[in-house]
């Protein structure tokens, strides 16, 4: 299975020396940290926030991301908003005044946090904010060296597809998929670009999706076997999918694909795989869906 390409942000520092006198005095020009952000082979036609099926894409001029830098020797650093193709220059003499190596981390979109925080996914301000992209910590970059930051998806993508020989195509197109009991906030460490799935929290609701193919960006989290997970309303009937023992968590940077075959009174998991963005495992089993029976009035 094809794995995803990830965002690559390359920071290139250029130092210019000029001869200023007969005794070869050096002109102390400031060394600027220049940032070039790409994903795979750049193209002129790709739009920002547009991704290929494997999750790859690219930044364009005007995109902004958060850049965190830290000097272990000085125990000091800073958080800045970097704009691709513009903005305020960043200079090595400001971030590494003693000339010692610097640690870098970055994330997109811009988010004013530099420690560990609960990042809202279900109730994110924008659709783009749900799909947090982060570069894992790049330690000990020497002054004037290239700094390569690889951005990748750190949330989880849950894909649900429906097929049936019982319900009509119109029923499939109008089927409503609702996530149940999934945590809404991801626990993100912005210092090193990682997510702790065991520390997810929050009860904000994920908005329902309609159709035979639905995708949800959700917080990475652990799951409880037997708990209600997905509600499917189709043709006037409601089915509840319960977490099987074979799925213990929704992993950071991974896709869980559930291809479901809807029958009259049950749904068969025709095929399930966790794939690129990154590959985790493959699931091949039958899982019953149970119709919810209303309580007697």
CATH number at residue 257: 2.60.40.2630
Q: Helices marked H in the chain — which ranges?
A: 92-95, 127-130, 169-173
Residue 219 is part of which domain span? 156-291
Same domain, 187 and 86: no
Structure confidence at residue 267 (pLDDT): 64
Q: What is the domain count for the chain?
A: 2
Residues 179 and 281 in one domain: yes
Distance CA 187, CA 32 (A): 34
| Confidence grade of residue 136 (pLDDT, cut at 50, 70, 90) | confident
**Domain boundary pick from 129, 153, 177:** 153
The answer to whether position 222 is within a domain reads: yes
Q: Is the pLDDT of residue 24 over 80?
A: no
65 with 112, same domain: the answer is yes
Radius of gyration of the chain (CA): 24
3-state helix, strand, coil in the chain (%, to 5): 5, 45, 50
Same domain, residue pair 191 and 148: no
- For the stretch 208-253, pLDDT in tens is 999 999 999 999 999 999 999 999 999 999 888 888 888 899 999 8
Report pTM.
0.76
CATH number, domain of 50, equals 2.60.40
Give 10-58 as a 3 state SS string. EEEEECCCCECCCCCCECCCCCEEEEEEECCCCCCCCCCCCECCCCCEC
Which residue in the block uniquely carries the two structure tokens 């809202």? 120
Of 124, 153, 182, the one marking the end of a domain is 153
Is 117 inside any structural domain?
Answer: yes
Q: Is 1 within a domain?
A: no
248 found inside a domain: yes
Q: Is the pLDDT of residue 25 over 60?
A: no
101 and 131 housed in the same domain: yes
Q: What does the pLDDT average to over 267-293?
A: 47
- Do residue 76 and residue 180 come from a single domain? no
Residue 220 CA to residue 62 CA, distance in Å, equals 29
In-domain check, residue 296:
no
Closest Cα partner for 153 from 53, 264, 248, 224? 53
Residues 156 and 241: their CA atoms lie apart, in Å, by 19
Q: What is the pLDDT of residue 121?
A: 95
Question: Does 143 share its domain with 214?
Answer: no
């Amino acid at each position: 299975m094809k794995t995803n390409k990830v965002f690559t942000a390359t920071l290139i520092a250029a130092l210019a020396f000029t001869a200023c006198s007969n005794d070869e005095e050096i002109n102390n020009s400031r060394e600027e940290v220049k940032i070039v952000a790409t994903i795979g082979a750049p193209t002129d036609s790709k739009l920002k926030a547009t991704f290929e099926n494997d999750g790859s894409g690219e930044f364009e001029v005007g995109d902004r991301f958060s850049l965190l830098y830290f000097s272990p020797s000085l125990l000091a650093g800073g958080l800045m908003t970097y704009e691709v193709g513009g903005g305020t220059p960043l200079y090595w003499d400001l971030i590494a005044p003693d000339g010692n190596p610097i640690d870098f981390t970055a994330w997109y979109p811009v988010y004013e946090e530099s420690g560990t925080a609960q990042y809202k996914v279900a109730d994110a301000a924008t659709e783009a904010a749900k799909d947090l992209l982060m570069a894992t910590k790049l330690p000990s970059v020497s002054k004037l060296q290239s700094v390569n930051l690889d951005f990748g998806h750190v949330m989880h993508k849950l894909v649900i597809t429906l097929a049936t020989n019982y319900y009509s195509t119109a029923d499939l197109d109008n089927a409503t998929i609702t996530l149940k009991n999934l945590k809404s906030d991801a626990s993100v460490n912005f210092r090193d670009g990682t997510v702790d799935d065991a520390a997810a929290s929050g009860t904000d609701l994920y908005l329902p999706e309609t159709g035979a193919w639905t995708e949800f960006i959700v917080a990475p989290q652990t799951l409880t076997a037997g708990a209600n997970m997905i509600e499917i309303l189709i043709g006037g009937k409601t089915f509840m999918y319960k977490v099987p023992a074979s799925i213990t968590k929704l992993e950071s940077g991974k896709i869980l694909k559930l291809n479901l075959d809807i029958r009259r009174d049950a749904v068969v998991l025709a095929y399930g795989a966790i794939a690129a963005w990154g590959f985790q495992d493959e699931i091949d089993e039958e899982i019953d869906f149970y119709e919810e029976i209303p309580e007697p009035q």
